[in-house]
Amino acid sequence: MNKKHLMSLAFDLASKGGSKTFPNPNVGAIIYKDGKIIGKGFHRFFGDHHAEIHALNEAGENAKESMMFVTLEPCSHYGKTPPCVDAIIKAGVKKVFIAMKDPNPLVSGNGIKKLISANIQVEVGLLEKKAKKFYQDYSKRFTKKTSFVSLKYAMTLDGKIATSTGDSKWISSEKSREWVHKFRTQFDGILVGVNTIIKDNPELTSHGKGKNPVRIILDPDLIIPLNSKVIKDENPTVIIHSNIKSEKIKRLQKHNKFLIYIKSKNGLIDFRKILDELRRISIFSVLIEGGGFTNWSALKSGVVDEIVTFVSPKIVGGKNSITPVEGEGIQKISKALKTKITRFEKIGEDILIISKVIKNE
Amino acid sequence: MNKKHLMSLAFDLASKGGSKTFPNPNVGAIIYKDGKIIGKGFHRFFGDHHAEIHALNEAGENAKESMMFVTLEPCSHYGKTPPCVDAIIKAGVKKVFIAMKDPNPLVSGNGIKKLISANIQVEVGLLEKKAKKFYQDYSKRFTKKTSFVSLKYAMTLDGKIATSTGDSKWISSEKSREWVHKFRTQFDGILVGVNTIIKDNPELTSHGKGKNPVRIILDPDLIIPLNSKVIKDENPTVIIHSNIKSEKIKRLQKHNKFLIYIKSKNGLIDFRKILDELRRISIFSVLIEGGGFTNWSALKSGVVDEIVTFVSPKIVGGKNSITPVEGEGIQKISKALKTKITRFEKIGEDILIISKVIKNE
């Protein structure tokens, strides 16, 4: 077997990790010696051993004087697991083929340097073109500095997203909801407030219409129920919180959910900081499907690029019904946040309005 | 001069009353004797003498043995003024030409009968075709049993018609507001709650775009300020109230404003009763431009036929902002009032949505 073929097999292995390794990238590794593959490994889920470790474990003592094919530069720093380069050196691997350097500027090249210092032969760039495509989203983490944010809600003809009792099923027609499921596939992440999880326990998926975005739950006090669908199922979920001391952190991590801690200010988490953190885990486009308060926080922070509104021809009235954007609000109409309608059409029984937020920057 | 010509002149006079006689019909009268017009009169404004009295006053004692041409059957009952037939009899008029019987079934023919009983010659039906057209709206009062009601509001993209401080200037774009001014000309009446008058002091006219609808102010406790534009200007205003004892009644009547008393139930005036009363004064189509509470009352009573919504691409947020329909509201989305969108288009920067209320009757 030629080396390109072996690296290609490593990529096939890498792919098996799928969305379960989130937010880690998919990595595959193969150990080859005397014309035979003696070890195979891939990163199976977030918190699991890295690909190199699985492959070394399979090869055992036989790894000595072998060749390793790995899809991404082995790590040289402590993360959730000890550095892979240390294990490679210890196993006595003779030569390491690496498809691509780690694009993270803080680690890029350090793994390679450490291997070379240990007198291991290193060849970087085998199937590099394939690797660049494979790690496209992961690479963006270290280059892309902006996110695209869309805010979506369905309201009645009299401007309500839920009645005074919190009922919101269903404001928009079935066709509109199907449109939304498909629309979700265009996003890396879909963000809601924890109250939406508590009240509706939604799946927040594309319902088979395509790629599922990562669920992002804004939950400052970590009050999310552990039996929520977004916690129990296997799709990735990110929880953004401000409660560093919560004993729930460990229990959520056991469910392989990814927690991001951001300090809050007056009980509010800054949406700009949220987006900064999300870019670090390859989430560059976010669809916000929040309640009135989450939507207000996002709009106020100036991160929203576009608003997707469904207007459903129903009237519910009610002084205490819930509206799409609440919070403190703006007092003068002349100071209102302005948008420009870029598209409007009838979807099922409803009117869809898409508008671009006009930013004064 | 032939008699048709004289009756035609009476109609010309009648027209001069214009909207100022509201809710009375326009009436004109001419007194003719020995080849000369010796008296002319028309009903000039609500509360003024009737046309016949003005004409008789001008003719003076000369009215004896004259001919009178009057566009509508003279009244035989006490209204704001004594019955005209009594004055005609007293003046010694010889013959009365009447274009049309009064269509009000309670009075129709009674004036004629009284004149005949007093040995006055009466000819009914001179220029009757013209009269039927002239009194078309007035005649409807006694035949038409239904009204057409449209409810109009302009809301922000997040469903607000005013901010928490009550600011609503301007939610919709200039083009949309012009569209509304023109739209108003299609209605006999335009209805608002008294709070709109107190807060915005609007003119509620078509701003020169055509016929001005009659302003109808829903003011149960008669708290309307006497210096409001709708009270001070000369266009007709109807005030619907439930406060029979208010000392303001006389002061408002002095401004020639028309008051309608309807008993309230739990502080609410039934919109069905309002429409019944409005039909009695030739208001068969009403545009409601109310606040959240007025709109809720109208929708709840089931009188609204169509909803005209402007969605303006602005966001104001605010838990305490004002929404198009408030009041008690409906608790279950499945029980929401349903409408069907019949038209939607962009007007200026806004989206106009017109929808028909689906009535379960």
Nearest to A152 by CA among A338, A288, A292: A288
Report yes or no: B27 and B50 within 8 Å, Cβ to Cβ: yes
Q: Would you call B354 an interface residue with chain A, using a CB distance cutoff of 8 Å?
A: no
- Which residues from chain B sit within 8 angstroms of residue A334, using beta carbons? 169
Three-point CA angle B172, B175, B181, nearest 5°: 90
Mean pLDDT (whole number) for B246-262: 85
- Which residues from chain A sit within 8 angstroms of residue B156, using beta carbons? 159, 336
- Which residues from chain A sit within 8 angstroms of residue B170, using beta carbons? 333
Q: Would you call B110 an interface residue with chain A, using a CB distance cutoff of 8 Å?
A: no
Which of A1 and A167 is assigned the larger pLDDT? A167
Closest Cβ–Cβ partner in B318, B325, B328 for A330: B318
Three-point CA angle B157, B162, B168, nearest 5°: 100
Partner-chain contact B341 A319, CB within 8 Å: no
Lowest-confidence pick of A12-26, A116-130, B261-275: B261-275
Query: B170: cis peptide before it, omega within 30°?
Result: yes
Report yes or no: B315 and B157 within 8 Å, Cβ to Cβ: yes
Lowest-confidence pick of A40-49, A315-324, B246-255, B307-316: B246-255
Q: In the prediction, which pLDDT does B210 show?
A: 84
Nearest to B340 by CA among A13, A314, A76: A314
Partner-chain contact B333 A168, CB within 8 Å: yes
DSSP type of residue A265: B
Q: Would you call B145 an interface residue with chain A, using a CB distance cutoff of 8 Å?
A: no
pLDDT tens profile B308-343 = 999 999 999 999 999 999 999 999 999 999 999 999
Task: pLDDT band for A70, please (50, 70, 90 cuts).
Answer: very high
Cβ-based neighbour number of residue A309 at 10 Å: 25
Q: Please report, as a single letter, which amino acid is at residue A62.
A: N
Closest Cβ–Cβ partner in A159, A163, A334 for B160: A159
Partner-chain contact A329 B317, CB within 8 Å: yes
Lowest-confidence pick of A62-76, A256-270, B281-295: A256-270
Rounded to the nearest 10 degrees, the angle between the axes of helix A3-15 and helix A51-59 is 120
Question: Does the structure show a pLDDT above 70 at B126?
Answer: yes
Q: Would you call A166 an interface residue with chain B, using a CB distance cutoff of 8 Å?
A: no
Q: In the prediction, which pLDDT does A123 show?
A: 97
Task: pLDDT band for B252, please (50, 70, 90 cuts).
Answer: confident
Mean pLDDT (whole number) for A57-83: 91
The two tokens of residue B105 are 């079934």
Taking the C-alpha atoms of residue A299 and residue A154, their distance in angstroms, rounded to an integer, is 16
Nearest to A84 by CA among B203, A5, B39, A63: A63
Nearest chain B Cα to A163, which residue? B331
Task: pLDDT band for A105, please (50, 70, 90 cuts).
Answer: confident
- DSSP letter string, A94-124: -EEEESS----TTTTTHHHHHHHHTT-EEEE
A32 bridge partner residues: A37, A67
Partner-chain contact B340 A349, CB within 8 Å: yes
Partner-chain contact A169 B333, CB within 8 Å: yes
Would you please indicate which residues of A are annotated as catalytic (active-site) residues? 52
B294: distance to nearest CA of chain A, Å? 11
**Across the A/B interface, how many CB contacts are shorter than 8 Å?**
197
Mean pLDDT (whole number) for A147-167: 96
- DSSP letter string, A8-49: HHHHHHHHTTGGGGTTSPP-EEEEEETTEEEEEEE--STTSP
Q: In the prediction, which pLDDT does A113 show?
A: 96
Closest Cβ–Cβ partner in A314, A333, A334 for B337: A314
Q: Give backbone dihedrals phi and psi of A35, rounded to 5 degrees, phi first.
A: 75, 10
pLDDT tens profile B204-250 = 888 888 888 999 999 999 999 999 999 998 888 999 999 888 888 88
Q: Would you call A300 an interface residue with chain B, using a CB distance cutoff of 8 Å?
A: yes
Would you please indicate which residues of B are annotated as catalytic (active-site) residues? 52
Q: Return residues 304-333 of A near B (CB < 8 Å).
A: 307, 309, 311, 313-321, 323-333
Question: Does the structure show a pLDDT above 70 at B361?
Answer: no
Lowest-confidence pick of A165-179, B21-35, B166-180, B206-220: B206-220
Taking the C-alpha atoms of residue A260 and residue A76, their distance in angstroms, rounded to an integer, is 23
| Average pLDDT, rounded, for chain A | 93
pTM (two decimals): 0.86
B354: distance to nearest CA of chain A, Å? 9
Nearest chain A Cα to B152, which residue? A158
Partner-chain contact A323 B160, CB within 8 Å: yes
Closest Cβ–Cβ partner in B296, B313, B355 for A317: B296
Which of A81 and B238 is assigned the larger pLDDT? B238
Nearest to A321 by CA among B328, B279, B318, B28: B328
Task: pLDDT band for A361, please (50, 70, 90 cuts).
Answer: low
A240: distance to nearest CA of chain B, Å? 24
Q: Would you call A28 an interface residue with chain B, using a CB distance cutoff of 8 Å?
A: no
Question: What is the interface pTM, i.e. ipTM, of the complex?
Answer: 0.86
Instruction: Give percent of chain A with pLDDT exceeding 70.
Output: 99
Q: Would you call B156 an interface residue with chain A, using a CB distance cutoff of 8 Å?
A: yes
Q: Would you call B104 an interface residue with chain A, using a CB distance cutoff of 8 Å?
A: no
A116: distance to nearest CA of chain B, Å? 58
- Which residues from chain A sit within 8 angstroms of residue B328, using beta carbons? 317-319
Question: Does the structure show a pLDDT above 80 at B80?
Answer: no
Partner-chain contact B346 A349, CB within 8 Å: no
Task: Choose the mutation target among A315, A320, A328, A358 for the interface with B, i.e. most B CBs under 10 Å.
Answer: A315
